[in-house]
Structure 1
Amino acid sequence: MKPPMHDDDVLNQAAIWQARLSSDQLTTEQQSKFDIWLNHSEAHLYAWQEINTFWSQLECLSDVDISFIDDFADVIPLPIDNIETPSIQPIHTQIKKTAFLTGRNFSRSLLGMAASMLLMFSVFYTHIPQYFADYHTAPGELRTLVLSDGSQIMLNSDTTLSVDFTQAQRNINLHQGEAYFAVAADNTRPFVVKTTAGQVRALGTEFDIKNRDERVLVTVFEHAVSVSLNTGEVMSHLPQGQQLGFTESSFSKPGAANLARTQSWRKQRIIFQDKPLAEVVAELSHYRAGSIIILDSKTKALSVTGVFDTKDTNIALATIEQTLPVTMTKITEKLVFISAQ
């Protein structure tokens, strides 16, 4: 049985001591205080071991393992006035040139700063759409809207959506996230949901759309929908019980949907069967603030099967740690690293 995940305060203390000890300005008095702290309890000793194991594994990361950092290179900031832009190298460049090059010496203090900057960029970038949307749900929040025509929309966690009803058409823009639609009948005004890859038009009453990353997934619970890609290609009829994935330029092959699994989020559950850990972590990340980062490629491919409660993702992470050969390192509640044992 593995030991439980640590108290954040103890891990934070260990991380602070790790940064101090790596400094060129370390004093004899500070070294003595560290020795007292380290021997204070087994919890301190174990937390210190975890922090050092974490840094040791960072030394072994390849360029492939940290390629996700490039995603932050082209983030466009919001036009907020009175913000001074420091004239320094982008943080992703600093990280790749120093901290993560295998076999090179690196500054652990810089890595700590880089982790903090990564967290800041990830939180900032993923919340850009909410500033322009009519409705937004925070991580872990569900929300039901009743529209002026009587239609209902249930928003999943971490979802942004806008509504634009005109006399000719009922338009919904699902900027990101997932939503379940129960559409009121109105033959004079089509009900159309716009996503990043195309549009879904209701030909009946109930359907689910998941719009995350570049791929959109639509599942029909009652009647049918039609789907048109941004390139103009159209699938005119997707019937009840079917599921379809699509990007801006192509459709996947429609197939029978597992309706219970698809709508499990509405009961604050998510279900996985033989899914890679990377996919599971990506889904869990929508139900908690901050970031969960897997540190090596092999760990990303580990298979996961389970039912997780979205109300407390810490339980899900603890379950994963207990059942897979991985170690969770919580820097804070908003930054978790997963590494191989």
Structure 2
Amino acid sequence: MVDDRACGPMPDNGFQHPDPVSDAALDWFVHLQEAPQDRKLREQFQIWLDSDPRHAAAFAKLEAMWTLPELDIASARLAARLDETPKARVVPARRQVRRTGKWTKRLAALAAVMMVAIGIRSYPALMLRWNADHLTATGAQGEFVLPDGSRLMLNTASAVALDFEGQNRSVTLLQGEAFFDVVPDPARPFRVAGAFGDVEVKGTAFSVRTGAEDTVILERGRVEVSRQGDDAGHATLSPGEKVEVSAAGLSPVTGIDAESALAWRTGWVTFQEKPLADVLADLGRYYEGRILTLDGSIGRVRVSGNYRLADPEGAIRSLAEAAGVKVTRLPGGIIILR
């Protein structure tokens, strides 16, 4: 196999990306910025570009990244550290740059800025993995035994952090939905923190889902739900009841079919006379692609059903057919309803 690094222009000894294709793309990008009118350089670049589909893909990704607004912020910070003008990018775009003795620094800075830009986009996912003790991927579920013997089940794309040090029995729901079957211990309350609310129990079975608000559903036992930072706002749930907690406060406690609402634990999703938009939003949590609706009236159609979560795309297609909606699937898992 040809060394991709050797196929590109050779700068001074500077930053080298672990991926040789990306490394060569960075080299070409900087050299073309330096000499945009160099016909021979352009011809050599075209030869490199045409020699392997990976080259064109890597270079296109680099060009797209160059337009990200996050790159301006990152490059300004990096330029300040390198004692360069923070008002300009390390290698200014769309104008010629003189080659100086700082060429190695410039190439390293460009590569570093690109990596920072990528990091900004992936930062939430990276931090989630860093903070989570247990997590699941999209479409997956997981069951775990907690240090006190309580059982935890995580729904799709969910994550929790645990604190069982000393007398603590505390779980923070970082993302998604979780079901807890708590071992009774009157001396050690079991607490779950969502984005807006806190749940405290002695021993019971309940679920918490976080998002635009926290939704707490009680299957059995009893739970106390409060809004974080608000000692006055709290609610007590009995089996078959739910409450939602948002930045504005607690909703009224309402009854719910807990068996249907928690059917995801057995791999099913169940709904009765529910707007299609709400059903698609729920199924979208289990689907790795994207669902786009071109006609707003589609979402108002009410549907009922009982579907396996193992095949969310099949469920979406079945629902669309029942609602008289046309389905188009694009590469990358994009489903368009019209």
Q: TM-score per shorter chain, which class?
A: 0.5 to 0.7
Deviation at 1:256, TM superposition (A): 1.9
Deviation at 1:338, TM superposition (A): 1.3
Cα distance in 2 for residues equivalent to 1:265 and 1:227: 23
SS in 2 for 1:161: strand
Which amino acid in 1 is paired with 2:186? N
Cα distance in 2 for residues equivalent to 1:280 and 1:309: 13
Cα distance in 2 for residues equivalent to 1:127 and 1:293: 23
Cα distance in 1 for residues equivalent to 2:221 and 2:127: 31
Cα distance in 2 for residues equivalent to 1:129 and 1:278: 30
Give TM-score scaled by structure 2 length: 0.61
Cα distance in 1 for residues equivalent to 2:124 and 2:298: 24
Q: Where in structure 2 are there 5+ consecutive unaligned residues?
A: 1-61, 71-117
Contact (CA 8 Å) 2:159, 2:174: kept in 1 or not? yes
- Partner residue, 1:86: 66
Deviation at 1:235, TM superposition (A): 1.9
Deviation at 1:198, TM superposition (A): 1.3
Contact (CA 8 Å) 1:228, 1:235: kept in 2 or not? yes
- Partner residue, 1:266: 265
- Partner residue, 1:141: 140
Rate the CA distance shift 1:272–1:153 in 2: closer, same or farther, 3 A.
Answer: same
Contact (CA 8 Å) 1:200, 1:227: kept in 2 or not? yes
- Partner residue, 1:14: none
Contact (CA 8 Å) 2:233, 2:249: kept in 1 or not? no
Residues 132-176 of structure 1 show CA distances to partners (whole Å, capped at 9, x for unaligned) of: 322111122111110111010011111111111121321101112
Cα distance in 2 for residues equivalent to 1:227 and 1:247: 12
Cα distance in 1 for residues equivalent to 2:290 and 2:164: 36
Which amino acid in 1 is paired with 2:221? H
Structure label with greater radius of gyration:
2
Instruction: Give 1:257-296 correspondences, 5 Å limit.
Output: 257-296=256-295
Which amino acid in 2 is paired with 1:175? L
Give TM-score scaled by structure 1 length: 0.61
Runs of 4+ in structure 1 off by over 6 angstroms are none
After TM superposition, the structure 1 stretch with the greater mean CA deviation from structure 2, 310-319 or 320-329, is 320-329
SS in 2 for 1:221: strand
Deviation at 1:248, TM superposition (A): 2.3
Instruction: Give 1:22-37 correspondences, 5 Å limit.
Output: none
Contact (CA 8 Å) 2:188, 2:202: kept in 1 or not? no
- Partner residue, 2:76: none
SS in 2 for 1:253: coil
Residues 273-324 of structure 1 show CA distances to partners (whole Å, capped at 9, x for unaligned) of: 1211211111111112121121232122221211111001121022122211
Rate the CA distance shift 1:89–1:163 in 2: closer, same or farther, 3 A.
Answer: closer
- Partner residue, 1:227: 225
Rate the CA distance shift 1:316–1:134 in 2: closer, same or farther, 3 A.
Answer: same
SS in 1 for 2:249: coil
Cα distance in 1 for residues equivalent to 2:122 and 2:311: 23
State percent identity of aligned pairs: 28
Number of aligned residue pairs: give it: 226
- Partner residue, 2:333: 334
After TM superposition, the structure 1 stretch with the greater mean CA deviation from structure 2, 252-261 or 123-132, is 123-132
Deviation at 1:200, TM superposition (A): 0.7
Q: Where in structure 1 are there 5+ consecutive unaligned residues?
A: 1-81, 91-119
State the Cα RMSD in Å. 2.6
Contact (CA 8 Å) 2:276, 2:299: kept in 1 or not? yes
1:171 has 2:151 as partner: no
Deviation at 1:234, TM superposition (A): 3.0
Instruction: Give 1:2-41 correspondences, 5 Å limit.
Output: none
Rate the CA distance shift 1:127–1:209 in 2: closer, same or farther, 3 A.
Answer: same
Cα distance in 2 for residues equivalent to 1:316 and 1:236: 36
Which amino acid in 1 is paired with 2:67? S
Deviation at 1:197, TM superposition (A): 1.1
SS in 2 for 1:185: coil
- Partner residue, 2:251: 252
Relative contact order (C-alpha < 8 Å, sep 6+): which is higher? 1
1:303 has 2:302 as partner: yes
Deviation at 1:88, TM superposition (A): 5.1
Rate the CA distance shift 1:333–1:245 in 2: closer, same or farther, 3 A.
Answer: same
